[in-house]
């Protein structure tokens, strides 16, 4: 009896995790460059159920396999291109990434809406993505799609969370005046509108395995394990574009998020009913079945 109680409890915990993930997505529906997060769940390992002394001459007889519960394994970010919206502000930069991957069978790999593809040999590949280079609070390099930038009082080009935007040389970008005095080329090079001189180039990194990056808060992604993201510096040959006066919107689908939120709530309630049923059954077994008249 307790096996079912534990299974229902595991289901409640998983649906709570799913509910929290969807709530996080909805809260960031207007966050620039935010990547929707999906909660991945899987069942506990199957166990073999056997009936002891079931057959003549045998100690037990196999009844079949049984899953003993489910758990939220991880939460992954959907690394896909978000919609681009025009702001007409010189401070805003959108990063458009459409990097192709050659298919061993010929042509380019065709990715699905989640940025994933399965090749003919069974190999799973993910579409590479471009990221702006920024300085994280620890002084290292992190990556973001948040192009809501501005110039600090000391001339540093910073994100909306006051993180230094790094140039191609790995150093913070320092500009004089305001961003209205500059225009940014498609490859990230910043030019002074008056003198026409280059004032730096925004550092852009290509993550060949974007799902290998870890969400680090404040719109940042970090490569926690060396080589997990297969990072490399972007070149002019890569299919990416920096657009000034535009921002990349969140990839959260509001309608689908509300459906997922309701589904998680209903599944939680169903598991809750099962727990209540077992609770009443145990109460009856303790208080009535075992009663001695």
For residue range 205-241, list pLDDT tens digits in order. Answer: 999 999 889 888 888 999 888 888 889 999 988 899 9
Regarding whether 238 and 124 lie in a shared domain, the answer is yes
CA atoms within 13 A on the CB side of 231: 22
Instruction: Tell me: do 123 and 208 sit in the same domain.
Output: yes
For residue 134, give its domain range. Answer: 84-248
Give the β-pairing of 189-192 and 198-201. Answer: antiparallel
Residues 44 and 94 in one domain: no
The conformation of residue 272, written as its DSSP 8-state character, comes to H
115/235 same-domain check: yes
Same domain, 100 and 128: yes
CB-CB neighbours of 290 under 10 Å:
8
199 plus 149 within the same structural domain:
yes
pTM exceeds 0.95 for this model: no
66: left (phi over 0), alpha (psi -120 to 50) or beta: beta
Residues 148 and 185 in one domain: yes
**Residue 66, token pair as written in the block:** 């049984």
Q: Which DSSP category does 163 fall into?
A: P
Cα 195 to Cα 190, 202, 206, distances in angstroms: 12, 19, 31
CA distances (Å), origin 262, targets 9, 177, 225, 266: 19, 50, 36, 6
Rounded CA-CA distance 129/110 in Å is 15
Considering the domain architecture, whether residues 63 and 95 belong to the same structural domain is answered as no
Please state, in angstroms and rounded to a whole number, the distance separating the CA atoms of residues 93 and 241. 10
Regarding whether 206 and 239 lie in a shared domain, the answer is yes
Task: Give residue 51's pLDDT.
Answer: 67
Do the beta carbons of residue 35 and residue 127 sit within 8 Å? Answer: no
* Residue 184: both structure tokens together: 């940014």
Distance CA 248, CA 250 (A): 7
pLDDT score for 181: 92
Strand partners, 108: 102
* Mean pLDDT, 10 residues at a time, the chain of 293 residues: 79 91 92 89 74 59 74 82 92 92 88 87 90 91 93 92 92 91 93 91 93 87 86 90 94 92 93 89 78 60
Q: How many domains does the chain have?
A: 2
Rounded to whole angstroms, the Cα distance separating 271 from 264 reads: 11
CB 242 within 8 A of CB 205: no
- Position 291 scores a pLDDT of 64
CA-to-CA dists, residue 217 to 36, 136, 271, angstroms: 13, 10, 32
Residue 281 structure tokens = 């059954």
Q: How many of the other CB atoms lie within 10 Å of CB of 95?
A: 27
In tens, the pLDDT along 174-190 reads 998 889 999 999 999 99
Instruction: Check whether residue 233 and residue 116 sit in a common domain.
Output: yes
Q: Are residues 65 and 174 in the same domain?
A: no
Question: Residues 19, 122: one domain?
Answer: no
Mapping DSSP to helix (H, G, I), strand (E, B) and coil, where does residue 271 land? Answer: helix
């Amino acid at each position: 009896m307790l096996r079912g109680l534990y299974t229902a409890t595991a289901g409640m915990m998983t649906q709570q995790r799913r509910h929290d993930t969807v709530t996080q997505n909805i809260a960031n529906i207007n966050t620039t460059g935010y990547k929707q997060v999906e909660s991945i769940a899987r069942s506990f390992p199957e166990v073999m159920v056997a009936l002891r002394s079931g057959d003549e001459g045998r100690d037990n007889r196999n009844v079949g396999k049984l899953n003993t519960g489910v758990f939220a394994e991880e939460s992954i970010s959907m690394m896909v291109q978000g919609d681009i919206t025009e702001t007409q502000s010189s401070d805003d930069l959108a990063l458009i990434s459409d990097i192709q991957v050659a298919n061993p069978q010929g042509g380019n790999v065709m990715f699905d809406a989640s940025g994933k593809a399965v090749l003919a040999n069974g190999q799973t590949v993910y579409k590479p993505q471009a990221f702006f280079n920024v300085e994280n609070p620890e002084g290292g390099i992190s990556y973001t799609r948040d192009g809501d930038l501005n110039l600090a009082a000391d001339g540093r080009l910073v994100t909306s969370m006051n993180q230094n935007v790094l140039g191609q040389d790995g150093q913070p970008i320092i500009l004089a005046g305001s961003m209205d005095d500059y225009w940014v080329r498609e490859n990230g090079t910043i030019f002074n509108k008056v003198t026409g001189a280059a004032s730096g180039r925004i550092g852009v990194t290509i993550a060949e395995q974007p799902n290998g990056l870890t969400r680090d808060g404040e719109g940042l992604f970090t490569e926690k394990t060396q080589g997990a993201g297969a990072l490399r510096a972007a070149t002019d040959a890569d299919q990416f574009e920096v657009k000034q006066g535009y921002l990349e919107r969140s990839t959260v689908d509001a309608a689908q998020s509300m459906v997922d939120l309701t589904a998680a709530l209903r599944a939680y309630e169903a598991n809750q009913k099962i727990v209540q049923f077992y609770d009443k059954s145990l109460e009856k077994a303790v208080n009535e079945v075992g009663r001695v008249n």
